[in-house]
A = this chain, B = another copy of it.
Amino acid sequence: MASSPSTKSNFAPIKTRRAFEVICEQIREQLAAGTLKAGDKLPAERELAVEFQVSRSALREALRSLEVAGIIRNVKGAKGGAFVQTAEPDRIVQAMQDYVHLGDISLGELTEARLALQNIIVRLACARATETDLTELEAIAERTRQETSVEARYACAVEYYAVLARATKNRIFGIFVDSLSAILHEFVRGPDYETLQQSLIESRFKLVRHLRARDEEAAVAEMRKHLERVHRHVRKNSKAAASG
């Protein structure tokens, strides 16, 4: 059955399989099969090179690829080596950021996706948020109030959204939210942003109150109002930047 598409062309795509690709693939297979799992340590580079019968350079390119993909982490020194990582969404975020930079994803698409996503999240969080989640959200909102720099407050906002997503007890949403946060961060600029920030804090407290009351519709409405204000600001400043 190897390489026999039933209906289309019968020519197999020509693949100049590079050594490092094959290596990556094999390691990924072991990962999917469970032979390798988070925390495991791969043999030393020089050793692996012998095992795969490739030069150390080729092997290193493979390891580098896996590291960039967030699968392993290379640590130097004695007792160092390549360690299989635990899942971190950073790479997904990075990949999405690259995608937006390379492509022509418009701000409109980003904000629309964000709004729709937060709509789901608020509904789920409303049903599932624990008291711990809610107090944490309040703590973050409170901390936002005390922060002095714009950047610090923005970091708080990102954390607020992340914790809210976590309250859904579904990590997929967390990934999506983190990605959009990172991308939209680049658009959040402008002189009047600071005053906007201030006014958003109260909205965050309100949302928590709605969540605690398990008032889904009110929570959704609050989030929508909240985001629409942010997006108005972003859009305005984006246009200003484009025209300048």
Binding site for B on A (CB under 8 A): 1, 5-7, 16, 20, 28, 31-32, 38, 57, 60-61, 64-65, 68-71, 76, 84-89, 91-92, 94-96, 98-105, 109-110, 112-113, 116-117, 119-120, 124, 147-149, 152, 170-173, 175-176, 180, 186
Closest chain-B Cβ to A128's Cβ sits at a distance in Å of 11
Are the CB atoms of A120 and B109 closer together than 8 Å?
no
Are the CB atoms of B65 and A149 closer together than 8 Å?
no
Closest B residue to A1 by beta carbon equals B149
Closest B residue to A104 by beta carbon equals B87
Closest chain-B Cβ to A188's Cβ sits at a distance in Å of 15
Residues in chain B near residue A186, CB distance under 8 A: 32
Are the CB atoms of B102 and A86 closer together than 8 Å?
yes
Are the CB atoms of B71 and A105 closer together than 8 Å?
no
Main secondary structure, interface of A, reads helix
Residues in chain B near residue A57, CB distance under 8 A: 57, 60
Residues in chain B near residue A101, CB distance under 8 A: 28, 31-32
Are the CB atoms of A94 and B69 closer together than 8 Å?
yes
User: In the complex, given contacts A57-B57, A92-B99, what are 20 additional A-B residue pairs having Cβ atoms less than 8 angstroms apart?
Assistant: A5-B152, A6-B148, A28-B98, A28-B101, A31-B101, A38-B102, A57-B60, A61-B61, A68-B68, A68-B69, A70-B98, A84-B102, A85-B102, A87-B102, A87-B104, A87-B105, A91-B98, A105-B171, A116-B124, A172-B180
Are the CB atoms of A171 and B103 closer together than 8 Å?
yes
Closest chain-B Cβ to A59's Cβ sits at a distance in Å of 12
Top 4 nearest A-B pairs (CB, nearest first) are A87-B103, A113-B172, A87-B102, A92-B95
